[in-house]
Amino acid sequence: MNSYSDTSFSLFIYRHGSTSLFLLVYVDDILITSSSPLAISQLINNLSQEFVVKDLRHLKYFLGIEAYQLPTDLLLSQSQYIFNLLQRIKMLDAKPVSSPMSSSKKLSLFLGATYSDPSNYCNVVGALQYLPLTRPYISFAVNKVCQFMHKPTEDH
């Protein structure tokens, strides 16, 4: 079974009996998990016969997401990604708010002065699109600012 994304394979799923094996490929990084540790070892051994493979063991960091193994759970965090983003856009001193945006706030394409650096706006908003993975409560706000990437204003 394969997962399709933009007509390219990225997630491969193998099931045989009670064993499930998941292989996620992104460029030259591969993430493998399974219901069977033996299946993981066998797959890594088979891959290493064809490719240079470096087994980093337990997941710690993948595509900007930090992973912390707890006794019964896996905690995913993007705190370093957020810190780096805030540092890059010079907002480390910004104060946190309980909600990133009021749902009653109406944004318009026609109100507000044109934003001085549209490419910077697109860059920041593009980076924000990855945050709802671990912070779904900002999905609404991120979706709203994405709607104005083609012509951002100071209001946005």
What tokens were used for 149?
């990437």
**Per-domain boundaries in the chain:** 2-55
Find where tokens 């009670």 sit.
18
Range of weakest confidence among 12-16, 18-22, 24-28: 24-28
What tokens were used for 72?
């019964």
End-to-end Cα distance, the chain: 42
- Please give the Cα distance from 28 to 25 (Å, whole number): 7
pLDDT digits over 94-148, tens only?
Answer: 888 777 777 777 777 778 788 788 888 888 888 888 888 888 888 888 888 888 8
Cβ of 22: how many Cβ atoms within 10 Å? 16
Q: Name the pairing type of β-strands 2-5 and 8-16.
A: antiparallel
- Please give the Cα distance from 96 to 66 (Å, whole number): 21
- pLDDT of 28 > 80? The answer is no
pLDDT, position 7: 45
- pLDDT of 18 > 70? The answer is yes
SS3 73: coil
pLDDT digits over 73-99, tens only?
Answer: 888 899 999 999 999 989 899 888 777
This prediction has a pTM of: 0.69
What tokens were used for 40?
């993981």
